Structure 1
Amino acid sequence: MVMKTIPKSYTVAAVASFIVLVTYLALFSSVSDLQLIPSLSSSQGTSLQQTWESRTIRIDQAPQEMTSSTITCDRSHTDYDLCSINGTCSLDQRTGTLALMDPISSTSAPIVEKIRPYPRKTDNWVMPRIKELTLTSGTLVYTRSCDITHDSPAIVFSAGGYTGSIYHDFIDGFIPLFITANSIYPDHDFIIVVVNPKEWWMPRYMDVLGAFTKHKTILLENENASSITHCFTSAFVGLISHGPMLIDPIRLPNSKSLVDFHNLLDKAYNTNLSTLESQKPRLILVSRYGNVGRVILNEKHIKEMLEDVGFEVIIFRPSKTTSLKEAYKLIKSSHGMVGVHGAALTHLLFLRPGSVLVQIVPLGLGWVAKTCFEYPAKGMELEYTEYRVNVGESSLVEKYSKDDLVLKDPIAYRGVDWNATKMNVYLKEQDVRLDVNRFREHMNKAYEKAKTFMDIDG
Structure 2
Amino acid sequence: MGEFSKTLLLGSPSLLFLFVVIIFLYASSFPSDLSPLGSWKQHLTDWTGGLGQNKTSQDLVVKDPMKYLLRRLVRGQDRIQLDFTGFSCHNDLHSEVCLTNKPIVINNSALTIYIPSDQQQLDHTVQPYARKEDGTAMKAVAPVKMIHRNTSLPACRFNHHVPAMVFSSGGFTGNLFHEFNEVIIPLFITCRHFRSELQFIITDFKPWWVEKYSRILSQLSRFEIINPAANASIHCFPGVVVGLKYHDNLALNYTKIPGGYSMFDFKDFLRTTYNLKIQNVSKIQKLSVVLISRPMSRRFLNEGKMVEMMEELGFQVDVIKPNRMSSLDKFSGVINSCNVMVGAHGAGLTNAVFLPDGAVFVQVVPLGLDWASETYFGGPAKEMGVKYMKYKIDPDESTLLDKYGPDHPVIVDPMSVFLKGYYAAREVYVDGQDMKINLTRFRETLLKAGKLLGRSTPLH
Unaligned 5+ segments in structure 1 are 5-57, 454-458
What residue in structure 1 maps to residue 237 of structure 2? 232
| Deviation for aligned residue 1:378 | 0.8
Letter of the structure 2 residue corresponding to residue 355 of structure 1: A
- Answer whether contact 2:162 2:199 (CA < 8 A) is retained: yes
Work out the CA distance in 1 between the residues paired with 2:196 and 2:326.
33
TM-score normalised by length of structure 1: 0.78
What residue in structure 1 maps to residue 386 of structure 2? 382
Say whether 1:216 aligns with 2:220: no
SS class of match (1:84): strand
Say whether 1:95 aligns with 2:99: no
RMSD: 2.7
What residue in structure 2 maps to residue 447 of structure 1? 450
- Render the CA deviation track for 1:274-322: whole Å, top value 9, x for unaligned: 9x98652111000112xx2110000000001011111111001112332
Work out the CA distance in 2 between the residues paired with 1:90 and 1:392.
62
What residue in structure 2 maps to residue 158 of structure 1? 168
What residue in structure 2 maps to residue 288 of structure 1? 294
Work out the CA distance in 1 between the residues paired with 2:83 and 2:194.
19
Letter of the structure 1 residue corresponding to residue 201 of structure 2: V
- Residue range with higher mean Cα deviation, 59-68 or 299-308: 59-68
Unaligned 5+ segments in structure 2 are 1-32, 37-71
- Answer whether contact 2:284 2:339 (CA < 8 A) is retained: no
Work out the CA distance in 2 between the residues paired with 1:366 and 1:69.
47
| Deviation for aligned residue 1:241 | 0.8
| Deviation for aligned residue 1:251 | 2.1
Work out the CA distance in 2 between the residues paired with 1:69 and 1:214.
29
Say whether 1:110 aligns with 2:121: yes
Work out the CA distance in 2 between the residues paired with 1:340 and 1:142.
54
Letter of the structure 2 residue corresponding to residue 297 of structure 1: L
SS class of match (1:368): helix
Letter of the structure 2 residue corresponding to residue 72 of structure 1: S
- Render the CA deviation track for 1:91-132: whole Å, top value 9, x for unaligned: 1111111112xx353xx3123211111112122223233111
TM-score normalised by length of structure 2: 0.78
Quick one: higher RCO (CA 8 Å, sep 6+), 1 or 2?
1
| Deviation for aligned residue 1:413 | 3.7
% identical aligned pairs: 31
| Deviation for aligned residue 1:178 | 1.3
- Render the CA deviation track for 1:68-101: whole Å, top value 9, x for unaligned: 56333234x111122112211121111111112x
Q: Which runs of 4+ in 1 moved over 6 A?
A: 1-4, 62-65
Name which of 414, 435, 439 aligns with 2:438: 435
| Deviation for aligned residue 1:142 | 4.0
Work out the CA distance in 1 between the residues paired with 2:327 and 2:201.
24
Letter of the structure 2 residue corresponding to residue 73 of structure 1: C
- Answer whether contact 1:69 1:87 (CA < 8 A) is retained: no
Letter of the structure 1 residue corresponding to residue 204 of structure 2: N
Q: How many matched pairs?
A: 385
- Residue range with higher mean Cα deviation, 265-274 or 377-386: 265-274
Name which of 139, 162, 168 aligns with 2:178: 168
What residue in structure 2 maps to residue 266 of structure 1? 271
What residue in structure 2 maps to residue 81 of structure 1? 96
Larger Rg: 2
Work out the CA distance in 2 between the residues paired with 1:350 and 1:104.
46
- Render the CA deviation track for 1:310-357: whole Å, top value 9, x for unaligned: 111100111233211011111111112001111100111111121110
| Deviation for aligned residue 1:253 | 3.6
| Deviation for aligned residue 1:64 | 11
Name which of 205, 216, 223 aligns with 2:213: 205
Letter of the structure 2 residue corresponding to residue 428 of structure 1: D
- Answer whether contact 2:391 2:445 (CA < 8 A) is retained: yes
Say whether 1:128 aligns with 2:144: no
